[in-house]
Amino acid sequence: MMNSDLEVLNSSIKKEADEILNGNGLLRILEGYGKVSVSGSYLLDLGEI
């Protein structure tokens, strides 16, 4: 895979995660049970090349 292919894949995965967490309201639902902490490469955007 070329870097540009990986960048497209990363962008696609990040967009899907954003949709799951925010667009579908998952974070809002989870906040009803306690403090939610998003961490790791998603939070730090470490997938960028």
Averaged pLDDT in 10-residue chunks for the chain of 49 residues: 80 89 92 90 65
The number of C-alpha atoms within 13 Å of 21 and in the hemisphere containing its C-beta is 12
Which whole-number Å values give the CA distances from 30 to 8, 16, 21, 42, 46, in the listed order?
Answer: 29, 18, 10, 17, 24
pTM of the entire predicted model: 0.67
Note the pLDDT of residue 40.
77
Note the pLDDT of residue 1.
63
